[in-house]
Structure 1
Amino acid sequence: MLADITPLREHPDFRRLWCGNTVSYLGQQMTAMAVALQVYAITGSSFYVGLVGLCSLVPLIVFGLYGGAVADVVDRRRLGLVSAFGATLLSGALAAVAIADLRYVGVLYAIVALQAVCFAMNSPARSAMIPRLLSAEQLPAANALASLAGGVGQMAGPMLGGVFVGLWGYQAAYLIDVAAFTASLYAMWRLPAMLPGDGEAGDEGTGDEATGAGKGAVGGAARNGNGGARTGGTATVRRRPSVLEGLRYLASRPNLRTTFVSDLCAMVLAQPRVLFPAVAGLWYGGGTRTVGLLAAAPAVGALLGSVFSGWLGRVRRQGFAVLVAVGSWGAAVAVFGLTRDLLLGLLFLAVAGCADTISMVFRNTMLQAAAPDDMRGRLQGVFLVVVVGGPRLGDFLAGSAADLFSPAAAVVGGGLACIAAIVLVGVLQRGFASYTARRPVA
C-alpha cells in the first residue's frame, strides 16, 4: 500500500531528478511565503499581497503553452538547465533586494513574474523527460512520488519560510532557495541529452513506445513528427515551436483530450476553497484557525494519497480510474457542503484531496504513455495551464454562486454538478473508460 519507490531505487537519473526537484520546490514555497510577508510588511495591504499571485498566474498561463512547444523542439535537458539557472538568479535578486532594504513592491512583482516565466519554461521540459527515464509500467509510481514531493513542499515550505524570515529576515529564505536550486541544477546536469523523439519506436497513432527508450539511449537518427531536419547526437532541432500544432494534435486525440476535460469538471465546477472564510464562521463558528484547517485538509488528504499509493501501479483501466476519482472528488465536496460538524467536514475535504491525487497520477501517466515523445512537451504545457487556471476559474464560479444563492448551495451544487459532468463525459467518451495501460491509445 505504501508508495512504490522502485523508480528511485532502480534509476539513478530519476532519483537525482526527483530529489533535486523536491529540494528546489521546498525552497520555492519558502520564497513564496517570504515574498508575501515582505509585500505585506511594505504595504500593510492584503490586496497587494493578492497581486503577487496574479503576477505569477498570468506568466504561467501565457508561457506554459509556449514552454511546452519549445520543449518539443530543443534539448530538454538544456532547456531545463537554462530555466532553472534563471530561477536561481532571480532568487538571488530577491535576496539582494531584501539585503539592500529596497521597499518597492514593483520590483518584487517583476521578479516574481520572471520566476513564473522560468517555471513555465522548465516544468513541461522536466515532465516530458520522465517517460525517457522509466518504463511505462513505472510511470504511475513516478507520478505518485512527484505528488508526494509536492505535498511535502506545500505543507513544509511556507512554514519553514515563515520561521526563517522570523529568525534571520527575508534574505534568509531567499538565500536558502538559491542553495536549494543547486540540487535541481546538479540533477539536470547529470542527465544525458534529451532531444525530442530520440529513441522512440512507437506509432504516433497508438502511442505505443519502446520500453526503456529513454534510459540514456539518446542520439542517432529519430523520427521528427513534422519533417524537420535534425542530425543524430546534436543539441539543435531545426524546427520552430508550434503551440497550434500541439492543440490540433490534442483536439484529434479523444483520450488525451478527456484527461483535461475531466480535471476541469472537478476544478471548475467543485472548487470550494474560496468559500472557506465564509463557511468557517457560518457553519462552524470559527475564525482564521478554522479557515487554516479547512485549507490544509485537502493537502493532508493529497499527501496521504501519495504515501499510500503503492496499489496505483496495479490499476490497468486508468481512464475508468480517472472517472471514478473525479466523481469521488465531487461527492466528497457535496457531502462537505451538507455537514455542519467540523471534524466530518475536514474528513471529507481530505477524501477530496486524496481523490484529486489519484486523478492526477493517472491523468499524467496517460499523457506520458500515450503521447509521442515529440508532443509531450506541448501536452505538459497544456497540463500546466489547466492545473493553474482551472482552480482560479473555479474560485470565481464558486464565489459568484455563493453571492447569488448561499455558500451551502454553491458547495453542494458544485459537487453534484461535478458528478453529473463526469458521468456525461464517461457516456460521451466510452473509449476513455476502457483505456488500458497495456495498450495506451491517445
Structure 2
Amino acid sequence: MAPPRRRFVDLSPLRISPAFARLWIGTSISGIGAHLTVVAVGLQIYAMTSSTFAVALVGGLALVPMIVAGVWGGMLADAFDRRLVLIVSSLVGWASTIALVVLSAVDAALAADGGRGEVWPFYLVTTVNSVAATISGATRFSVYPRLLPAAYVSRASALGGISGGIQLTAGPALAGVLVATIGLPLTFAVDAVLFTAGFLGILGLPKLRPLSRTARPGWESLRDGVAFLRQAPNIRASFLVDIVAMSFGRPFVLLPAVGATVIGGGPVTVGVLTAAAAVGTFLTGVFSGPVARVHRFGIAIGRAIIVYGAFVAAFGAVLAAMQTGWFGPVGPEWGQANVVALVLAAIALAGTGASDEVSAIFRSTMLLTAAPDEMRGRLQGVFTVVVTGGPRIGDLYAGVLASLVALWFPPVLGGLAIMAILAVLLRVLPSFRAYDARDPKP
C-alpha cells in the first residue's frame, strides 16, 4: 500500500523503535557539541596563526587517518557487536575533547603573557577526534536497519536531517556566542558536557552482534568489501557524486577570514553563516514528508547536487562583491559587519544546506536498503570516509585557492564545476540515473 501523502516529517520511526529514539535524541544533543568544537577549532587556530591555510590543514592532516579509520571502523562494525564499537569509539572522542580543553587553556594563559602555544598539538588531537568520529559514524548508521523495518529507513534518514540541522544550527551559533563571551577553553568544555547525552543513547541500544559469519578485520574482510563494491555501480556512483560536491563546494574553512575581513562581525558572523547552512538542512528535514513517495533516487540526488552547486557559486558572488571594497569598510567586531552581505551570504548557505540534505536522504537510504547487513558496516565506513573526508579535501581546495587568488574564488569556481560535472555524470551513469527504490540494486 502506498504511504499516505504528507508534507511534514514522519515521526513514526521514533514511535516504533525506542532504541532508535534514544539514539536519535542522544546524537542530536551530543552533535551540537561536536559541531561547536569544529567551529571553535577553526577560530582557535586562526587566532594563533591568522592563516586560512593553517585552518584548512585541520582537515587536510586528518584526511588519511580518517580514510583508514573509516575502512577499519566499517570492518569492526561488521565483525563485532556494533554497540560495543560505538561505546569504545565514543569514549576516545570524548577524551580528545578533554585534551582540547587543556590545550586551549594553556594557549590562553600564554597569550595573556604575550605569547602563543604550539599549533601542532591541536592538529594531533583534532585528528584523533576525527578518527573516533569516523568510526562512530560508520557504525551508528549501519544499525538503523537493525532497529527499524526496511520501509522506515528513508523516514529515519529524513529524521537524520532534522538531527543534523539541529546540530549544525545550534552548534556553530553557540560556538560564535560562547567564544565571544566565555572564551575558547570553556567553549570546548561545553562539548565535553554535551557528549554525555550521546553516550547514554548508545548505552540504551540492544546488543547488535553480527547476523552471519563475517571475516575479522583484516585483508580478507577488506577484499570482501572491495569485491562487493565492484559489483555495486549505484552505490559507487552515490559516493562519486558526493565527493564532487564536497570537494568543490565547501566554503566553511573561509569563514574565519570572512568574518574578520570581508563581511565583518568576527566569531558571531562565523556562527551565523555556519548555522545558516544548518537551517536549510533542518527545514528540509521538517518538510521531508514526500520522501516516502520518491522512487527515482539517482535523478533526485543528481538534481539536488546541481542546485547545491548553484548556491555555492552564489555565496562566492557575495564575497566577490564585498571584496571590491565598494560597500565600505568592515571589521572583526559584531557591530562592524555588513548586514546586507551577511543576510545574502546566509541565504546562499541555507540553500546549500537544504539541497545537500535532499541528496543525503536518498544517498543514505540507497546504501542502507540496497546493501546486505553483513556489508553495511564496511560500506558505511566508505560512506563515512566520503562524507567526512570529502569536506577535508574541500577545505584544502578552498584554503589553497583562497591563499593564491582571493576568498571569493574557490566557491565561485567550485560551484560552477559542481553543476557541470553533475550534468555530465547523470548522462554517463545510466544505471544510477534509472535507480528505482522499489527494486533496490546496489
Same fold (TM over 0.5): yes
**Given the superposition, is the C-alpha separation of residues 404 and 36 from structure 1 closer, same or farther in structure 2, using an over 3 Å criterion?**
closer
- Indicate whether 1:21 and 2:35 are aligned: no
Contact 1:70 1:241 in 2 (8 A): no
Give me the CA root mean square deviation. Answer: 3.7
Contact 1:69 1:241 in 2 (8 A): no
Within-5 A mapping of 1:395-406 = 395-397=395-397
Contact 2:134 2:388 in 1 (8 A): no
Q: Percent identity?
A: 40
What's 1:12 paired with? Answer: 18
Distance (Å, rounded) in 1 between the aligned partners of 2:217 and 2:303: 43
**Given the superposition, is the C-alpha separation of residues 153 and 406 from structure 1 closer, same or farther in structure 2, using an over 3 Å criterion?**
closer
Which residue of 228, 236, 253 corresponds with 1:249? 228
What's 2:309 paired with? Answer: 330
Q: Secondary structure at the match of 1:353?
A: helix
Q: In the TM superposition, what whole-angstrom CA distance separates every residue of 1:49-106 from its partner, at most 9, and x where no partner exists? A: 5554445444323312221122121111111111112223333444456678886545
- Indicate whether 1:360 and 2:374 are aligned: no
Q: In the TM superposition, what whole-angstrom CA distance separates every residue of 1:383-415 from its partner, at most 9, and x where no partner exists? A: 122222323434555667778888777655544
| 1:384 maps to amino acid | T
Contact 2:169 2:276 in 1 (8 A): no
Within-5 A mapping of 1:66-85 = 66-85=72-91
- Indicate whether 1:302 and 2:281 are aligned: yes
Contact 1:73 1:239 in 2 (8 A): no
Within-5 A mapping of 1:212-291 = 222=212, 224=213, 228=215, 242-272=221-251, 286-288=263-265
Which residue of 124, 141, 144 corresponds with 1:127? 141
**Given the superposition, is the C-alpha separation of residues 274 and 161 from structure 1 closer, same or farther in structure 2, using an over 3 Å criterion?**
closer
**Given the superposition, is the C-alpha separation of residues 333 and 165 from structure 1 closer, same or farther in structure 2, using an over 3 Å criterion?**
closer
| 1:327 maps to amino acid | I
Unpaired runs of at least 5, structure 2: 1-6, 111-116, 322-339
Q: Secondary structure at the match of 1:267?
A: helix
**Given the superposition, is the C-alpha separation of residues 265 and 168 from structure 1 closer, same or farther in structure 2, using an over 3 Å criterion?**
closer
Distance (Å, rounded) in 1 between the aligned partners of 2:229 and 2:217: 23
What's 1:178 paired with? Answer: 192
| 2:305 maps to amino acid | V
Contact 1:326 1:422 in 2 (8 A): yes
Distance (Å, rounded) in 1 between the aligned partners of 2:180 and 2:368: 42
Distance (Å, rounded) in 1 between the aligned partners of 2:387 and 2:177: 29
Tell which has more relative contact order, 1 or 2 (C-alpha 8 A, sep 6+): 2
What's 1:203 paired with? Answer: none
Alignment coverage as a number of residue pairs: 404
What's 2:327 paired with? Answer: none
Within-5 A mapping of 1:38-437 = 43=48, 45-46=50-51, 51-95=57-101, 105=118, 106-161=120-175, 163-164=177-178, 172-196=186-210, 198=211, 222=212, 224=213, 228=215, 242-272=221-251, 286-288=263-265, 292=270, 296-334=275-313, 342=341, 346-397=346-397, 411=411, 413-437=413-437
Residue 159 of structure 1 deviates from its aligned partner by 3.7
Residue 255 of structure 1 deviates from its aligned partner by 0.7
| 1:247 maps to amino acid | V
Q: Secondary structure at the match of 2:207?
A: coil
**Given the superposition, is the C-alpha separation of residues 352 and 94 from structure 1 closer, same or farther in structure 2, using an over 3 Å criterion?**
closer
Distance (Å, rounded) in 2 between the aligned partners of 1:56 and 1:316: 36
**Given the superposition, is the C-alpha separation of residues 164 and 335 from structure 1 closer, same or farther in structure 2, using an over 3 Å criterion?**
closer
Residue 310 of structure 1 deviates from its aligned partner by 1.9
Deviates more, 1:88-97 or 1:426-435: 88-97
**Given the superposition, is the C-alpha separation of residues 100 and 69 from structure 1 closer, same or farther in structure 2, using an over 3 Å criterion?**
same
Distance (Å, rounded) in 2 between the aligned partners of 1:183 and 1:410: 37
Q: Secondary structure at the match of 1:242?
A: helix
Q: In the TM superposition, what whole-angstrom CA distance separates every residue of 1:160-198 from its partner, at most 9, and x where no partner exists? A: 3455566666554444433322322222222222123x1
**Given the superposition, is the C-alpha separation of residues 435 and 35 from structure 1 closer, same or farther in structure 2, using an over 3 Å criterion?**
closer
Distance (Å, rounded) in 2 between the aligned partners of 1:366 and 1:305: 18
Distance (Å, rounded) in 1 between the aligned partners of 2:412 and 2:191: 40
| 2:378 maps to amino acid | R
